[in-house]
Structure 1
Amino acid sequence: MNNLDRAYSFVMKAHLTEEALDNAGRMTRRSVFHNQEELETLASISVLDERHVAAAREMAVVYVAIAAFENSVRELISRTLLEDKGEDWWSTSVSEKIRMLANQRMEEEVKVRWHSQRGQDPINFTMLPNLLNIIRQNFSQFEPFIHNIDWAAQIFDAIERSRNVIMHSGTLAKRDVARVGSLINDWSRQVAT
């Protein structure tokens, strides 16, 4: 199969997947929340201390950037390894330790049936450092667009440090926010496929 055939196959699979998800009743962000006001009412923002709300709102933008970065890395890994290794890429290309940790998180979430789940795919339960480890374990597949694993590790390490502050209700300094933005921009420009 040549590169054009692979590209066509990948695009068709993606299109069919999107169509199947839509037909199965996939909920989009727009279908879940009609507007910001409704979301704030559901989350009881009005009963919280405005100082804390204001600080959290500032960091919400950073959360969006980091969450989108993480999910784009998950998608890059899934897409690249699916194309190169086939549908069983998770079991053949990811270390047992990473698979075990993801499976443990999945099993824990299944026990709490009353709450939304992260997803159905084990990669959704894989933390940022282990996403880098998956890339490292399969670097020959990622080298054409990453080129240097140490460069990628520096990006992941710095973003994870900021991620941990945000995810534990902290506030980043502007220089840290700018660093996150710069690193995400560098990563996106480098891995654009």
Structure 2
Amino acid sequence: MNAEEQVELFVLKCASLKIAVDDVSPGAAVDDIGVVLDQPGINSSLEQFSQEVRTNANRMAEYYKLFYMLENDIRKLIDDTLIEAHGADWWDKHSPNSAKEECKANQQREKDAGFTSRSDNELDYISFGQLGDIIRNNWDLFGGILSNQKALGRVMYSLNNLRGPIAHCGLLAEDEVDRLKLTVKDWFRLLEGPK
């Protein structure tokens, strides 16, 4: 898929999501950061924050959405590839021990806090960095999908560093916004496969 087709797919996905939101909350007011305001308590909560914080949240929301889609696409690629090769129980035999330990610890932390389980999929309980470890651990499969293992390491390292301010409510400097855009392009270049 070339860059133009990827942009077109992204725009179509966004339009589809907009239609779905409109179906759930037709005519609902949306504030400057995209939060539906007819939800009880949301409007009064948002009004408590300064305009600067609201503006920064709006700016960072775009990068969060991009990273959310990218990270979940990577998780899906891993899961789909390993299920196809090894079946639905691939996790036990084909994920590194460090990923298994992190998964168990995160599942236990949620359980101990009395939270509803976020997922039945172990991949949803590991950090972004562990995703690269799973790919490298199974390079015999991913080497036919991704173009280069060394480039994968560089791209995943860069994405993991960029993820920090996005996932932890920071701000991306303009240079880092440029780096994010280039690194996402690098990821899609990796997906073009070996040449």
Q: CA deviation at 1:117?
A: 4.1
Partner of 1:127: 127
Gap regions ≥5 residues in structure 1: 1-28
Give the Cα separation in 1 of the matches to 2:167 and 2:76.
21
Give 1:41 shift: 5.1
How many Å separate the matches in 2 of 1:135 and 1:154? Answer: 13
In structure 2, distance between residues paired with 1:95 and 1:189: 26
The code of the aligned residue for 1:97 comes to S
C-alpha distance 77-86 of structure 1, shift in aligned 2 (>3 A): same
Letter in 1 for 2:57: A
After TM superposition, where is structure 1 displaced by more than 6 Å over at least 4 residues in a row?
Answer: none
1:168 shift after superposition: 2.4
| Displacement of 1:137 | 0.4
Q: Secondary structure at the match of 2:176?
A: helix
The offset of 1:85, in angstroms, is 1.1
Q: Call closer, same or farther: CA 1:107–1:30 in 2, change over 3 Å.
A: farther
Q: Aligned equivalents of 2:46 and 2:192: distance in 1?
A: 38
* Structure of greater relative contact order (alpha carbons < 8 Å, 6+ residues apart): 1
Specify every segment of 5 or more residues in structure 2 that has no aligned partner in the other structure, as ranges. Answer: 1-19, 29-34
Cα displacement string for residues 132-191 of structure 1 (whole angstroms, at most 9, x for unaligned residues): 000000001000121211111111111111111122222112221122122213312432
| TM-aligned CA distance change 1:50 to 1:179, over 3 Å | same
Shift of 1:192: 5.9
- Larger helix fraction of residues: 1
Distance in 2 of aligned mates of 1:117 and 1:53: 30
- Give the Cα–Cα distance (whole angstroms) in 2 for the partners of residues 102 and 188 of structure 1: 27
**Residues 100 and 147 of structure 1: CA distance in aligned 2, closer, same or farther (over 3 Å):** same
Q: Do the aligned partners of 2:148 and 2:190 also contact (CA within 8 Å) in 1?
A: no
- How does the TM-score come out when normalised to structure 1? 0.75
Please list, as runs of the form range in 1=range in 2, the aligned pairs for 1:111-190 lying within 5 A after superposition.
111-113=112-114, 115-190=115-190
RMSD: 2.5
* Structure 2 residue aligned with 1:50: 51
Question: Alignment identity in percent?
Answer: 23
Moved more, 130-139 or 96-105: 96-105
Three-state SS of the structure 1 residue aligned to 2:88 is coil
Structure 2 residue aligned with 1:99:
100
Q: 1:87 maps to which residue?
A: 88
Which moved further from structure 2: 150-159 or 29-38?
29-38
* Structure 2 length-normalised TM: 0.75
**Cα–Cα, structure 1 residues 53 and 40, in superposed 2: closer, same or farther, change >3 Å?**
farther
- What is the CA–CA distance in structure 2 between the aligned matches of 1:176 and 1:40, rounded to whole Å? 36
Q: Which residue of structure 2 aligns with residue 37 of structure 1?
A: 36
1:14 is matched with which residue?
none
